[in-house]
Amino acid sequence: MAAHGTDPFTETDDQQALRALAREVAERDLAPMARHWDETEEFPQASWDAIRKADLFGITIGERWGGMGMGDVEAAIVLEELGRACVSSAILAQLTFNGPPRAFEHLGSDALRDRWLPMAASGEALFCIGISETEAGSAVNHMRARLTSDGDGFRLDAYKNYVTGGHKARACLVWCRFPGSVGTKGIGAVVVDLASDGVTLAGTHEKMGLRGTSEAELAFDDVRIEPSDVLLEGDPSSSDAFKTLIGHINHERCGNAAMCLGAAQGSLEYAIRYMNERTIGDRPLAELQGLQWKIADVATELEGARLLLKRAVHLAGPHGTPPPLETAMAKTAANLAAKRVCDEAIQLLGGYGFSREYPVERVYRDIRGLCIGAGTVEVQRNFIGTNLLRGAVPSGDAWKRPIL
């Protein structure tokens, strides 16, 4: 299957077929249950089963482990389509496409890949990532999680917060300090089977949105880590492993942006349909110019963000990682566009927009969490601003022209 189109704007026949398949699953299986998962806060098992049955979990995993070996372009296509129907369900695919399994494949040993990737590709197991701690979110370099030496391996002590899917996952990728680590030096990552002795599910958060997928607090108390469980060893004299891990999160950021775009697209389409049907007196809302301008503005923002995401994932190539500056721009634009679109969609539906019986209210709450996860909008802006001021330029010709 051809993994890549010739430019960011044209999807190959294979990519269009993938989009059609994801849309079919989203509309048939995910959309009708989205409200249920939100209201009940149940794990969206039926969504999991539908994504698995359609063989979508394995799209980014190498063929050697039962996957299809595609890249970030295809991951974004599927996440956009699933997010359009139910963001809580799309996150299950996000964790597989752009979470720990991608890190195992790109950064891990053959032993790690052979152990975990077949389970990820087939949809047999969910994987989660433990980076944040109660005192270290944006300031991830303040993390406390640490390993101590234990013969040929280690012992892990950590308390990870806001671990998406941590209550259902089979294994967790835990960022932690290797012996002797200070600051960003010596931070690396290990994989923990969540059935191991010393692992406890300490609780799950009660949230405003994304209520189908819980964010868990996981405690790791003196957990044995075998040498083969090490994904990336932290060297106490270097920040290289930490930088590699941070850079690899760009996959997750692009997936986050794709879900935001899909969710906002769903709300925008809903609002447009509503405006054509709803009459004020004898005129449909769609005839009111003030409201037409709202649609024009939010659709333009959404399309702008979509183009930025297309650039970022296209630059990753079939097997690479999306570049940091373009990724930060895409995530920022997608998060902000989604906030604006989803807010206006509620406004355009009037009182009904505020009702839990209409989907735009749920989507607004869901995308709110995406503006915080995978690095907040503020942290992305810090990165973009400081890098541009240091002379970095995003890819494309415009920034390479001499200043007039």
Ligand X SMILES: Cc1cc2nc3c(=O)[nH]c(=O)nc-3n(C[C@H](O)[C@H](O)[C@H](O)COP(=O)(O)OP(=O)(O)OC[C@H]3O[C@@H](n4cnc5c(N)ncnc54)[C@H](O)[C@@H]3O)c2cc1C
Given the rule CB under 6 A, which residues bind ligand X?
Answer: 128-132, 137-139, 162-164, 210, 215, 369, 372-373, 376, 378-379, 382
Nearest-approach distance from CB 6 to ligand X, in angstroms: 35
Report how far apart, in Å, the C-alpha atoms of 280 and of each of 272, 274, 288, 351 are: 15, 12, 10, 14
Q: And the tokens for 350? A: 């009037």
Residue placing its CB nearer to ligand X in the complex, 162 or 274: 162
Q: How far is CA 94 from the centre of its chain?
A: 5
With respect to ligand X, which residue has the nearer C-beta, 272 or 372?
372
DSSP-derived secondary structure for 335-360: HHHHHHHHHHHHHHTGGGGGSTTSHH
Q: Which amino acid is at 317?
A: G
Q: Which is nearer to ligand X, 137 or 317 (CB)?
A: 137
Q: Least CB distance from residue 381 to ligand X, whole Å?
A: 8
Q: How many CB atoms lie within 10 A of CB 156?
A: 25
CA-nearest of 141, 211, 95, 25 to 103 is: 95
Local structure of 186: helix, strand or coil: strand
Of the pair 103, 285, the CB lying nearest ligand X is at 103
Least Cβ distance, residue 358 to ligand X (angstroms): 22
Residue nearest ligand X (C-beta atom): 137
The smaller minimum CB distance to ligand X, of residues 108 and 130, is found at 130
Q: Please, is 396 exposed, middle or buried when counting C-beta atoms within 10 Å of its C-beta (0-12, 13-18, 19+)?
A: exposed
Min separation Cβ 373 and ligand X, Å: 3
For residue 384, the minimal CB distance to ligand X (Å) is 12
User: Residues 264, 342: contact at Cβ < 8 Å?
Assistant: yes
Query: 225: which strand partners?
Result: 154
Closer Cβ to ligand X, 132 or 335, answer by number: 132
**C-beta of 145 vs 349, nearer to ligand X:** 145
Rounded to a whole number of angstroms, the minimum distance from the CB of residue 90 to ligand X is 12
Residue 174 parent element (H or E): strand 171-182
Q: For 45, phi and psi rounded to 5 degrees?
A: -60, -40
| Helical H segments across 123-202, by residue range | none
* Least distance to ligand X, CB of residue 359, Å: 19
In the bound complex, what is the minimum distance in angstroms from residue 209's beta carbon to ligand X? 8
Q: In terms of residues, how long is the chain?
A: 404
Residue type, 334: A
Nearer to ligand X, 39 or 378 (CB): 378
